[in-house]
Amino acid sequence: MQRTIAILGSTGSIGRQGLEIVRELGLPVSALTCRSNIALLAEQILEFRPGLVSVGDSRAAEQLRDILSTKFNLKASDQPEILTDNSGLETAAALPETDLVLAAVVGFAGLRPVLAALEAGKDIALANKETLVAGGEIVMELARRRQTKILPVDSEHSAIWQCLSSAPGRQFKRIFLTASGGPFRNSSKKELAAVTPAQALRHPTWEMGAKITIDSATMMNKGLEIIEACHLFSCTPAQIEVVVHPQSIVHSMVELNDGSVMAQLGFPDMRLPIRLALTWPDRPAADYYRPYDPCAEGANQLVFEPPNEELFPALQLARSAFAAGGLSPCVLNAANEAAVALFLQGKIAFPAIWQIAAEALAQVPAAANLDFATLEWAHNDTIARIMQRHP
Ligand code: NDP
Ligand code: MG
């Protein structure tokens, strides 16, 4: 099936790999968006010819017009419509000609356009896990109401989804959510206190954007993924066991009701789960990936061990945020976004990321309902308070 694709966050790690798949399959592109990487967006426009793009602000829009006209000699009539800010993202997410939206913006900023896409009846290939962490209830409810599909791109969730295809009624007992453990899996408390941004940005098995790389190092990524899985697969954190698996070969496992355990395996390559979400329910033949070899170095000895939750408190923080419900997961996500930004700016130490998240979770405001405006207020308020304490 030839779907027309819009990519939100096309200049990021997932967005760029999404465009590789789009190129390989020759899919039409309706819209692309980024925040400030105008040079790359201009190249993508030249190759994929979307009718509309959206960028962070009017200055970025002006720069883009300038590059397209002067560097690429594109006549105004050959240039896409260029929009900005939140309204631009929402418009890009909801174009009539789009069949599927690849949601690859990082952080809470992705929630608003995902809601706009669902409201417009679009299927979503979802990489942007913060969307489900902060707004899982309203996202899943809107998808149900509009009868649209949310197809997981996150590799673990893609694996779980694939394992569940052999479970009648998608019923299961337990999920084993695998985690690489990040670069500090074997570090001491003392060593963690001295971790620098440069060290935390070196991930052992995956190459990803800065925020998720730090989240992987703190294991907050796995905490967010517990919440993401609870929404996607209608289960509770008690049904999800995190297993550290440093080789990142088994992308997750599911124990079915009859005791059978299904696993999905492969060398780490995000293009595979992205491609599955873009082509599902088909699986067109591909030849660009590294064929799996169970005897290859790195695959012939698979190790699984329980996470050290005392050293990495993020898993427990995520479980308690989900159990508390209300605005708690949204506040946890916001506090983590703020703390990761502060850590990358060198303003706080690595373990302070967990501390800031725990402090924010201890003072979550009550909310009568969880509509987008309330979530956005809680998100911005949490970030503002944390930033105020760390000028
Ligand atoms: P990147 O940081 O590489 O890319 C983020 C993209 O979003 C860029 O296009 C960026 O534009 C854009 N963007 C950033 N902030 C905003 C904003 N405030 N408003 C609008 N657009 C914005 O991230 P990744 O590709 O690594 O991750 C994207 C999402 O996918 C995250 O939620 C992550 O957790 C998830 N994910 C990523 C995986 C990976 O392998 N990378 C694996 C599994 C999940 P610009 O370039 O101009 O800044
Ligand atoms: Mg993942």
pLDDT value for 84: 98
CB of residue 109 inside a 6 A radius of ligand 1: yes
Give the residue ranges of DSSP H helices in the chain: 13-25, 38-48, 58-66, 85-93, 111-119, 129-146, 155-163, 189-193, 197-200, 210-218, 220-232, 271-279, 314-324, 328-344, 352-361, 372-389
pLDDT value for 205: 75
Sequence-distant (≥ 6) Cβ neighbours of residue 64 within 8 angstroms: 38, 41, 42, 53, 55, 82
Which ligand 1 atom sits closest to the C-alpha of 207? 40
C-alpha–C-alpha distance, residues 305 and 100, integer Å: 37
Distance 218 CA to ligand 1 centre (A): 18
Tell me which residue has its CA closest to atom 12 in ligand 1.
9
Q: Where in the chain is the domain with CATH 1.10.1740.10?
A: 325-391
Instruction: Identify any residues that bridge with 175 across adjacent strands, giving them in sequence order.
Output: 240, 254
Extract long-range pairs of 140-147: CB within 8 Å, 24+ residues apart: 140/231, 142/115, 142/118, 143/118, 146/118, 146/119, 146/121, 147/121
The pair of structure tokens assigned to 186 is 């074997």
Which ligand 1 atom sits closest to the C-alpha of 210? 2
Distance 295 CA to ligand 2 centre (A): 24
Distance 216 CA to ligand 2 centre (A): 9
CB atoms within 10 A of CB 322: 21
pLDDT value for 343: 98
On whether the CB atoms of residues 200 and 185 are closer than 8 A, the answer is: no
Please name which of 303, 306, 158 lies closest in space to residue 233, comparing C-alpha atoms: 158
> Angle at CA 226, nearest 5°, toward 220 and 229?
140
Please name which of 18, 103, 4 lies closest in space to residue 50, comparing C-alpha atoms: 4
pLDDT value for 288: 87
Distance 102 CA to ligand 1 centre (A): 11
The pair of structure tokens assigned to 379 is 């998100």
pLDDT value for 137: 97
Give domain 5-152's CATH architecture.
3-Layer(aba) Sandwich (3.40)
Which ligand 1 atom sits closest to the C-alpha of 107? 32
C-alpha–C-alpha distance, residues 139 and 152, integer Å: 13
Fold observed for domain 325-391: Rna Polymerase Sigma Factor; Chain: A (1.10.1740)
Tell me which residue has its CA closest to atom 41 in ligand 1.
208
Among all bound ligands, the one having the nearest atom to the CA of 126 is 1
pLDDT value for 206: 75
CB of residue 12 inside a 6 A radius of ligand 1: yes
CB of residue 135 inside a 6 A radius of ligand 1: no
C-alpha–C-alpha distance, residues 336 and 199, integer Å: 19
C-alpha–C-alpha distance, residues 348 and 337, integer Å: 13
CB of residue 37 inside a 6 A radius of ligand 1: yes
pLDDT value for 257: 96
On whether the CB atoms of residues 64 and 44 are closer than 8 A, the answer is: no
Residue-by-residue DSSP string for 280-318: TT------SSPPP-TTSTTTSS---B---TTT-THHHHH
Distance 35 CA to ligand 1 centre (A): 10
Which stretches in the chain have pLDDT values below 70?
1
Q: Where in the chain is the domain with CATH 3.40.50.720?
A: 5-152
pLDDT tens digit sequence for 176-204:
999 999 999 999 999 999 999 999 999 77
Tell me which residue has its CA closest to atom 45 in ligand 1.
35
| φ and ψ of 163, to 5 deg | -60, -35
- Would you call 143 exposed, middle or buried from its count of C-beta atoms within 10 A (0-12, 13-18, 19+)? buried
C-alpha–C-alpha distance, residues 29 and 278, integer Å: 12
| φ and ψ of 21, to 5 deg | -70, -40
| φ and ψ of 102, to 5 deg | -85, 110
